[in-house]
Amino acid sequence: MTNDTTTVPAAPHAQAMRTEHDCIGTMDVPANAYWGIHTQRAIGNFTVSGISDMQHPQMIRAYATVKRACAEANEELGLLDHERARAIAAACLEIEGGALADQFPVDVLQGGAGTSLNMNVNEVIANRALEIAGHAKGDYGYIHPNDHVNHSQSTNDTYPAACKIALVDALGPMAEETRKLSRAFHDLADRHANDVTIGRTQLQDAVPMTFGQEFHAFASFLKTDIAELEALVPQLTVLNLGATAIGTGICADLRFRNAATEHLARITGLPIRAASDPIASVTDMSAYIAVSQTVKNLAIHLKKAADDLRLLNSGPHAGFNDLTVPARQAGSSIMPGKVNPVIPECVDQCCFMVFGMDTTVTWAASEGQLQLNAFDPVMAHALLEGIGVLTRAMAMFRERCVEGITVHTATGLRYANSSPSIAAALNGEIGYEHAADIAKEAMETNRSVREVAGERTDLPADRLDALLDPITLSRRLGQTCREHR
């Protein structure tokens, strides 16, 4: 006989549950959860991305703000009594402040045009409002997710409203990071306003420019992007509250549309107004498309800057070697001493993701059959994800690359003086054909255009010096690059 000392683990305590019902039947919900049966069903239904709504905090905050404005409008119109409205508004304020952030677990790729998130928000607000009012979670006889929190509303008007406000919230930090990166390029340009290099077209030597002009161009791209980002706000603040299911306003008090719009404008401080055609607005995805295209264009500009820096950094012994980006890590597991431009490469990959975002938004926006576009959720997710990635990419690019660039001014001057293409400056004096011959000889004999032109033209030395001065050639339009502050 043997002694068996194995310990059998105690059975875990069963989680406390509460039972709720919907049009399909009943289901148990964790008793401590603020969500209800609709959310519980959605948790089991949508199991694809592993990314939940709570990972877009702008969206959760915005939805709570929309619900607060609606509660205030309903109270003002006498559709919701003061005590219930006060409890609902208090719950919304807590969520706007970041409370209950873990109570929004539904997958972002949810069917139903966002109904799951709307119901999730309604349930969480209702159950928290119940607690505030001294009732137990699930006591929907007093505050009901649909009858009270969702009064005069539908997913089809509140979800897009929350999406658009969330996008405004996300675009603010993006515009600020764009501004900081533009300033970093301007500062770099100002430091090298008088340092000449060679411009290149089709990756071939062209004519002189300054490093300052090259960096200033990046900053100018970004200034354009900032203006375009700011121009999105008026498009994103045309909302459709009170239009409910398909834009006819069914189940909503006729006064609610104006009241809710006014309350939301006051709360947010945004120029919110009601869409002029409520039915068209339900399926009009123009604002999402505008955001996507603007963010994509910013990504194109960032990719251009990152790619150019990679080229100008190439070598250093067998490449352009115009500049050096900061060394951030070893570049090879086999080649000692190799250092790669990893930050510009990371920026490129973020831009690729944004290009994919734009494709997703384009397809989803085009799927607005009949009176509803059911694909707001994937557009909201793609846009918020893309904006977040690109915003963080710009901060990284500025802090770990642009602000630490070392420009090789002597290399740039050598390139500018030795380029055969500088012979273009002689066209007006000796004609294109003669200048081309000089450029060809300079290239074949590995001499400068200035030297060959001194032998093959009758132009005085001081005239040749003036015509072929690279800094003068770079400023034909008077561009010095310095930002006017």
Q: Which two tokens stand for residue 411?
A: 């290399």
What's the number of CA atoms in the CB half-sphere (13 Å) around residue 375? Answer: 17
Contacts of 13 (CB under 8 A, 6+ apart): none
Closest by CA position to 172, among listed 262, 58, 275, 52 = 58
Q: Return d(Cα 124, Cα 45) in angstroms, integer.
A: 19
Q: Return d(Cα 460, Cα 204) in angstroms, integer.
A: 30
Residue 292: active-site member: no
Q: Return d(Cα 428, Cα 187) in angstroms, integer.
A: 36
CB 107 within 8 A of CB 50: yes
Q: What is the DSSP string of 31-82?
A: TT-S--HHHHHHHHH--SSS-BGGG-HHHHHHHHHHHHHHHHHHHHTTSS-H
Residue of 116, 154, 281, 332 marked catalytic: 332
Give the phi and the psi of residue 70 in degrees, each rounded to 5: -65, -40
- Provide the CA 175 distance to its chain's centre, in angstroms: 9
Closest by CA position to 268, among listed 162, 363, 389 = 162
Q: Return d(Cα 122, Cα 31) in angstroms, integer.
A: 17
Strands 26-30 and 17-21: antiparallel
SS3 225: helix
Q: Which residues are catalytic?
A: 332
